[in-house]
Structure 1
Amino acid sequence: MGLQTPSASEAAASGDPGTPPGDSLKAGLKNRHLSMIAIGGVIGAGLFVGSGAGIAKAGPAILISYALAGLLVVLVMRMLGEMAAADPSSGSFSTYADRALGRWAGFTIGWLYWFFWVVVLAVEATAAATILTGWVPAVPQWAWALLVMIVLTATNLASVGSYGEFEFWFAGIKVVAIVAFIVIAGLAVFGVLPGTDAVGTENLTGQGGFLPNGPGAILSGMLLVVFSFMGSEIVTLAAGESAEPSKMVRRATNSVIWRIGIFYLGSIGLAVALLPWNSDALLKEGPYVASLNEIGIPHAGTIMDVIVVTAVLSCLNSGLYTASRMAFSLGQRSDAPKAFGQTDKRGVPAAAIWSSVAFGFVAVIFNYTSPETVFEFLLNSSGAVALFVWLVICFSQLRMRRIIERDMPERHTVRMWLYPYLTYATIALILFVIGYMFYDAEGRQQMIMSVVVGALVLALGVWRQRQRRRV
Structure 2
Amino acid sequence: MTSLPSPTKEGGTPSEPGNPQSSDGLQAGLKNRHLSMIAIGGVIGAGLFVGSASGIAAAGPGILLSYALVGLMVVLVMRMLGEMAAARPSSGSFSAYADQALGRWAGFSIGWLYWFFWVVVLAVEATAGAQILEGWIPAVPQWAWALIVMVVLTATNLASVASYGEFEFWFAGIKVVAIGAFVVIGLLAVFGLLPGSDNPGAGLAHLTDSGGFLPKGPGAILTGVLMVVFSFMGSEIVTLAAGESSNPQRAVAKATNSVIWRIAVFYLGSIFVVLTLLPWNDPSILKEGSYVAALNSIGIPHAGQVMDFIVLTAVLSCLNSGLYTASRMAFSLGLRGDAPKAFARTNARGVPTAAILSSVLFGFVAVFFNYQWPDTVFAFLLNSSGAVALFVWLVICFTQLRMRGIILREAPEKLVVRMWLFPYLTWATIAMISFVLVYMLTDDTAREQVLLSLLVAALVVAIALVKDARGRREKTAAEVDG
TM range (shorter): over 0.9
Q: Which moved more, 1:381-390 or 1:283-292?
A: 283-292
Within 2, Cα distance between the matches of 1:90 and 1:128? 28
Give the secondary structure class of the aligned counterpart of 2:13: helix
Aligned to 2:203: 200
- Mapped partners of 2:4, 2:190: distance in 1: 53
Aligned to 2:335: 332
Distance in 1 of aligned mates of 2:410 and 2:465:
27
Taking the aligned partners of 1:288 and 1:415, their CA distance within structure 2 comes to: 37
Alignment partner, residue 479 of structure 2: none
Amino acid at match of 2:179: I
Counterparts of 1:371-382 in structure 2, within 5 Å, are 371-382=374-385
Cα distance, 1:5 vs structure 2? 3.2
Partner amino acid, structure 2, of 1:259:
R
Equivalent residue for 1:393, pick from 383, 393, 396: 396
Q: Name 2:92's counterpart in structure 1.
A: 91
Taking the aligned partners of 1:194 and 1:17, their CA distance within structure 2 comes to: 52
Matched letter for residue 327 of structure 1:
A
Alpha carbons 1:76, 1:390 under 8 Å: kept = yes
- Report the AA paired with residue 68 of structure 1: L
* Matching residue of 2:232: 229
Distance 2:118 2:332 in 1: 15
The answer to whether structure 1 residue 252 and structure 2 residue 255 are counterparts is yes
Residues 369, 86 of structure 1: alpha-carbon distance in 2 compared, 3 angstrom cutoff: same
Distance in 1 (CA, whole Å) between partners of 2:325 and 2:392 is: 14
Give the match for residue 39 of structure 2: 38
- Is 1:57 equivalent to 2:54 in the alignment? no
Deviation at 1:24, TM superposition (A): 1.3
Task: Give the equivalent residue in structure 2 for 1:361.
Answer: 364
Aligned-pair CA distance for 1:278 = 1.0
Match of 1:426 in 2: 429
Q: What is the alpha-carbon distance in structure 2 between the residues aligned to residue 445 and residue 18 of structure 1?
A: 45
Corresponding position of 1:316? 319
After superposition, the Cα gap between the structure-2 partners of 1:293 and 1:17, relative to the gap in structure 1 and judged at 3 Å, is: closer
Structure-2 separation of matches of 1:284 and 1:375? 26
Structure 1 residues 104 and 143: CA distance shift in structure 2, 3 A = same
Q: What does the per-residue CA deviation read over 1:221-276, in whole Å, with 9 as the maximum and x for residues that have no partner? A: 00010110000000000000000000000000000000000000011001011111
Distance in 2 between the 1:427 and 1:19 partners? 34
Deviation at 1:16, TM superposition (A): 8.1
Shift of 1:173: 0.3
CA–CA distance in 1 between the matches of 2:202 and 2:359?
48
When residues 452 and 15 of structure 1 are mapped into structure 2, their CA distance, relative to the original with a 3 A threshold, is farther
Partners in 1 of 2:174 and 2:203 — Cα distance?
Answer: 30
Q: Any conservation in 1 of the 2:20–2:246 contact (CA below 8 Å)?
A: no
Contact 1:13–1:26 under 8 Å retained in 2: no
Q: Supply the RMSD in Å over aligned alpha carbons.
A: 1.5
* Partner SS for 2:317: helix
Aligned residue type for 2:77: V
Segments of 5+ residues of structure 2 without an aligned counterpart are 475-482
Scaled by the length of structure 2, the TM-score of the pair is 0.95
Match of 1:278 in 2: 281
Asked if the contact 2:15/2:21 (under 8 Å) is kept, the reply is no
Q: Deviation string for 1:291-326 (max 9, x for gaps)?
A: 000010000100010010000000000000000000
Matching residue's letter, 2:345: Q
2:83 aligned partner: 82
- How far residue 382 of structure 1 moved from its aligned partner, in angstroms, is 0.2
Counterpart of 2:478 in structure 1 is none
Deviation at 1:15, TM superposition (A): 7.9
Query: Which residues of 2 match residues 126-137 of structure 1 at below 5 A?
Result: 126-137=127-138
In 2, Cα distance between equivalents of 1:14 and 1:296:
50
Scaled by the length of structure 1, the TM-score of the pair is: 0.97
1:426 alignment partner AA: T
Distance 2:21 2:205 in 1: 66
Q: Which amino acid aligns with 2:411?
A: M
The answer on whether the counterparts of 1:11 and 1:24 sit within 8 Å (CA) in structure 2 is no
Structure 1 unaligned regions, length at least 5: none
Is residue 250–residue 414 contact of structure 1 (8 Å, CA) maintained in 2?
A: yes
Instruction: Give me the whole-angstrom Cα distance separating, in 2, the residues matched to 1:167 and 1:139.
Output: 26
Residue of structure 2 equivalent to 1:151: 152
Report deviation, 1:207.
Answer: 1.3
Q: 2:303 pairs with 300, 309, 313, which one?
A: 300
Alignment CA distance shift 1:459-1:40 (3 Å) = same
1:289 maps to which residue?
Answer: 292
User: By how many angstroms is 1:3 displaced?
Assistant: 2.2
Of stretches 3-12 and 323-332 in structure 1, the one that deviates more from structure 2 is 3-12
Equivalent residues of 1:203, 1:276 under 8 A apart: yes
Note the alpha carbon deviations across 1:317-356, whole angstroms, 9 max, x for none: 0000000000000000000000001111110100000000
User: What secondary structure, in the 3-state scheme, does the structure 2 residue paired with 1:231 have?
Assistant: coil
State the alpha-carbon separation in 2 of the partners of residues 16 and 37 from structure 1.
22
> Is the CA contact (8 Å cut-off) linking 1:114 and 1:327 kept in structure 2?
yes
Q: Cα gap change, 1:140/1:412 in structure 2, threshold over 3 Å: closer, same or farther?
A: same
Partner amino acid, structure 2, of 1:187: L
DSSP 3-state at the match of 1:278? coil
In structure 2, the residue matched to 1:458 is 461
Aligned partners of 1:2, 1:18: CA distance in 2, in Å?
22
Counterpart-to-counterpart distance in 2, 1:18 and 1:54: 45
Aligned match of 1:188:
189
Offset at residue 280 of structure 1 (A): 1.6
Percent identity of paired positions between Structure 1 and Structure 2: 72
Secondary structure, aligned partner of 2:59: helix
Distance 1:165 1:411 in 2: 30
- CA gap of 1:367–1:19, structure 2 versus 1, over 3 A, is closer
Q: CA deviation at 1:289?
A: 0.6
Does structure 1 residue 265 correspond to structure 2 residue 268? yes
In 1: Cα distance, 2:114 partner to 2:228 partner: 19
Give the counterpart of 1:347 among 346, 350, 355: 350
1:35 and 1:16 map into 2 onto residues whose CA distance is: 21
Asked if the contact 1:67/1:265 (under 8 Å) is kept, the reply is: yes
Q: State yes or no: 1:104 paired with 2:105.
A: yes
Matched letter for residue 270 of structure 2:
S
| Aligned with residue 239 of structure 1, among 238, 242, 253 | 242
**CA displacement at 1:434 relative to structure 2:** 0.3
Contact 1:66 1:264 in 2 (8 A): yes
For 1:167, the aligned partner's letter is E
Partner of 2:215: 212
More divergent stretch after superposition (271-280 vs 360-369): 271-280
Tell me the distance in 2 between the aligned counterparts of 1:462 and 1:151. 38
Q: Is the 8 A contact 1:12 1:24 kept in 2?
A: no
